[in-house]
Structure 1
């Protein structure tokens, strides 16, 4: 019997075809007036019923937790770390009185290598199509910048949640490349200048520098059974060619921000540039990172990619 949790094959195929037609239509670059429907960027209906990551909110904040982890024996990628969990399915009140069913499930907890990210100059979304009902927002295209910001924020939150486990030693830190690496100086090297606002603090500017620099600007790690693993959202930025536009000094040394502080930095950036839909789309892309292990993704970039004064 088909229901919301177990759609029929016909219903599954219908939704798949509808999604395919919708997203394929956005590749039609000849239709410059076509706008994305508002529901295409609304993540809340998709994630509202998703269980909290690592049981966040289900235990007292200071309570120590233990996770049933399994390292590199039954995983497809031998350097990954998984956590064993289970889901419980039961019917609501009605005429059927079926017993609940418990299904085992392995979830990716940590990885052994970063996801390589290279910027592409010929992406179908190089020109942001805009969204219905949001005039005056999302001018220009900031997807690459927002993508790197969300990858850090999710990784920082991962460290904070996993730190509650007595079996893990978690930390987030800047690398020498993230704090000391040089941005491209010539116009030929630089693809885009990122305006992070002249009111940005030194700590804020250092954070943007670390997450946008070419290479591995930060580490989010956990040590488990004498082996060091990375956050599932760890990325390696390849030749971004970004420079920062700000009056803030970037010569100091500071600790990486918490997920909440980094989210505030991202929010300030979005307010400064009137970004709304692109921030949500970038988050959706970053949530998909754990499914791309061993691959390279290419968010778009172009010479006028982030004309931040548009």
Structure 2
């Protein structure tokens, strides 16, 4: 007996103390556990989402919203996006997929991402981070609704945290939109695509570039049935957006214009090939089981991803070539798109 306790009772008491200590330690470290996606840590929304930071308040117009200045060739952030994300952090300056895979995902979900460099004095002032009372804020993530009104603010968070933050706003960012479908008309995942490596292809636009066959020996192939996104391009002197091909890379109407379309370069680096229909190629549209009128009016669209043998890996209804990098990012067994953004 020790102070009224038997040896067995002391053992039980010791185990209880150890258990309680474990609970306390776990509760402390839990908020800093890494997420499966990578480097993003869990966020306690209650203390990291203030209702006011200087002149920025929930419901007010966000910096980096529709109508604000952005990079060429857009110049102005377009209206009509489902949501907007504006980030201020040191040393980063980009929009949408230029910010990496996360930016491509946001673009696919119908959002707009813009990251401003706080090393630039004007950008720091834009977010109010130059004010003495905000000196403790080194970076800031702002989420806005479709009108560019602030829905949430997350100080000392940056680009790497954006996707996790967006999960707080399912009414704005629909992550289910990234999911494909198993079957579309005559097409099904696991089946052979209507077009495959080595097949002959023909249209007036393809003839201009001497593209007569789908090349072999590519890691993957993307076929898109869609409306031309930009009919006219050019900032100072608008001109018609014309179909373009690079023989061993692919064909489509450039987005947003030929000078700023980096998809050709990306697909080449990844070892793939793509083909989007031109507006007169009704044969290709019908081959994939869509109605020409619906596709050319923008009512329907489809992206089919195949492997090196022409076997369908993924089908995405309602998507276009603008979503190519996002779609590829869902299939790391086929290609690693993150290497596009590694330094």
TM-score range, shorter chain: under 0.3
The structure with the larger Rg is 2
Give TM-score, length-normalised by structure 2: 0.25
Larger relative contact order, structure 1 or 2 (CA cutoff 8 Å, min sep 6):
1
- TM-score if structure 1 supplies the norm length? 0.27
